[in-house]
Structure 1
């Protein structure tokens, strides 16, 4: 556009010289000469005006030229003030958000199964989460999470919570499968260690029992009795030993809530575990394994977790679109959040804009502004050339008429 505008000005100058050379050979020649002469004046004037915005014309330090580079800091402050007064005030943000259903728009975008780029959105979400996980400092984030959990656990009294959970489980009969599983586990353990049990009984029997072989019969009787006991406990819900176990569990649930001595012991054990370096190492290793496994899954486009992102987003959008009350809550939350962000960080955002522009050198500011509006400024030069020619033509016509 700059070459075109300059070429038009050169063309007017060449036409002017050509017409000047052949002046008087035709009655209409003077009109063309007046047009080209005024077009040169208009084009040169607008070239000077446009150039003066960004640099000194022809490198001459003419006053009030190179306006943008010389006033870079003032422009930065003006931009920041404009941004603050017209966009980053709570009243403006709240007013512009009224009547705008952000939740419905987002839901319509997410829930439309025919939308283009669904896989792109899914892969982008997975990649974004993976990038965030990779950018986390393992030691720092692990330490922060660990410290946060430790602080919360220190504040939380574990014993009453455990007691209430155990009492609720007993009331709902959810402890019965646990008892059955424990009895079966004990049976399998005993079966896997029969030889050790027989050896222990034989070693504790006297020589007479070993000589007569009664130690083997005693061992068999003990094992058979234990197997029978565990079988009866499983098939008989009202077995005395089973009822005793349930009674012990109920007493434990009661004591965890009401016994200060037991509660103190549980709290002491909790503090010892939190202070144990082994727990710290275990948590750090667990966090790192989880983080690396999740990153690898998110980076794999064929992984099931990555493939579910599109479905999850569509389901979320459908749920929001079909629930006006949820939309109202989301919109209210978004409005309050944005207004809060503007109230808290508006001045920092404005300061960031101002300081960023001020740190740019004059050449950077000139290049960016000229790159943004340069085409329109060259149109000013083109229009100035043509309009100047038309004005010159009109003045010459008035002069001839008078």
Structure 2
């Protein structure tokens, strides 16, 4: 895994530091109470209960401190067996996490069943249409989760997978019939006329910029007599003037015979694109050459990087992105999604089929990506990330262990006093 893709080691979260100090402070307080009660319990026997509570609390607190610490590192730096469990087993954790994703989320029938109950379009519409929703904890959590995911995953591998997926979809797309249908619809609605006008104007500009080539061609092919009398120049002028007149007539007359011929050619091309196997094969060959072209591959790389950069910017500052024309357009889209049941059902069906298709086609790749990404993290990185995620709750275990241990010690001491 290269340096660019290696996730940075995160600092310990302030909440975790605070909970560590509370747990350690409580343990230290129990030690002080134990020493004081031990010094005076001969004078005041009732302090025996306090001493028993503090003594058992220290035992419980120390035991839970050892258990919690052993998850992430060696207690006191000593290589005690069965400690530093997470760093020593990070590869197994990656494999287990990947297997969990595969068995519970990426099986197509499981994905289809779960997606059937989700109204993705409705939720997206409510989120887009309601500006207040973007200020809540869910939006902030989603933004943070998106940033962490984009930073943590192997960008080269993920970008390659996205590029491969786009390339595969383009290769599977039957382009010729789509082009034929689009061209037929454009001709039927007259939307091809601006195209013909543009071609005529372009031809006039090309003729004007390259009239010297026509003069040179006529001069080279004319006989010596024509060149001697200067008739070659006259002939060239007539040819250029005739071509200019023809283009002017085509630009001014929408019913010009040559324009009609051009329209017939476009109609024939549209028919061949939809029905001719030879034409479809030629289009497929051109498409394959374009996809295999290194420039196309670089464009796909850039497309993924632009998309990733845009997602990072939106995740870091979603409110800023949602202001202005983009925000207005998205709010209108959200209102439309909420008010159009048929559109919402269509989008939900499309999302469901897309997610199921991704799970079927790329589930193994996603699982492998997660497993290899976790295995590629160094021990400090995965330890720090997991500790920041669950460390505060584990410190509560230390606190509870201290208090519960003290109560157990108090009960045992009370029983001993009663039976003694």
**What's the TM-score once normalised by structure 2's chain length?**
0.55
2:175 is the alignment partner of 1:162: no
Q: Deviations over 1:296-343 (max 9, x none)?
A: 677779xx9995356377666666666788889999989xx89xx9xx
Tell me which of 288, 294, 309 is aligned to 1:274.
288
- 2:33 alignment partner in structure 1: 8
| Distance 1:120-1:268 versus aligned 2 partners, 3 A rule | same
Q: Secondary structure at the match of 2:255?
A: coil
Question: How high is the TM-score relative to the length of structure 1?
Answer: 0.57
* 1:243 partnered with 2:257: no
Q: Distance in 2 between matches of 1:200 and 1:50?
A: 99
Q: What's the CA shift for 1:167?
A: 2.2
In the alignment, which of 316, 321, 324 is matched to residue 308 of structure 1? 321
**Matches for 1:135-284 after TM superposition, within 5 Å:** 135-137=155-157, 140-141=160-161, 144-145=164-165, 147-149=167-169, 151-153=171-173, 156=174, 158=176, 160-259=177-276, 263-268=277-282, 270-271=284-285, 274=288, 279-284=292-297
1:372 deviates by 3.5
Alignment of 1:22-41 (within 5 A): 33=45, 35-41=46-52
- Residue correspondences, number: 328
- Partner of 2:43, secondary structure, is helix
Q: Residues 225-278 of structure 1, C-alpha deviation per residue, up to 9 Å, x if partnerless?
A: 11111111111122222222222322333344444xxx325404633662589x
Unpaired runs of at least 5, structure 1: 20-32, 57-68, 73-79, 90-96, 361-366
**1:18 counterpart SS class:** coil
Match of 2:397 in 1: 373
Q: Alpha-carbon deviations, 1:186-214, whole Å to 9, x = none? A: 11111111121112112222222222222
Structure 2 unmatched runs, 5+: 1-25, 68-81, 86-95, 106-114, 380-389
Change beyond 3 A, Cα 1:185–1:320: closer
Question: For the Cα contact (< 8 Å) 2:163–2:304, is it kept in 1?
Answer: no
- 1:298 and 1:386 map into 2 onto residues whose CA distance is 57
Alpha-carbon distance in 2 for matches of 1:45, 1:177:
89
Asked if 1 retains the 8 angstrom alpha-carbon contact of 2:128 and 2:331, the reply is yes
SS at match of 1:238: coil
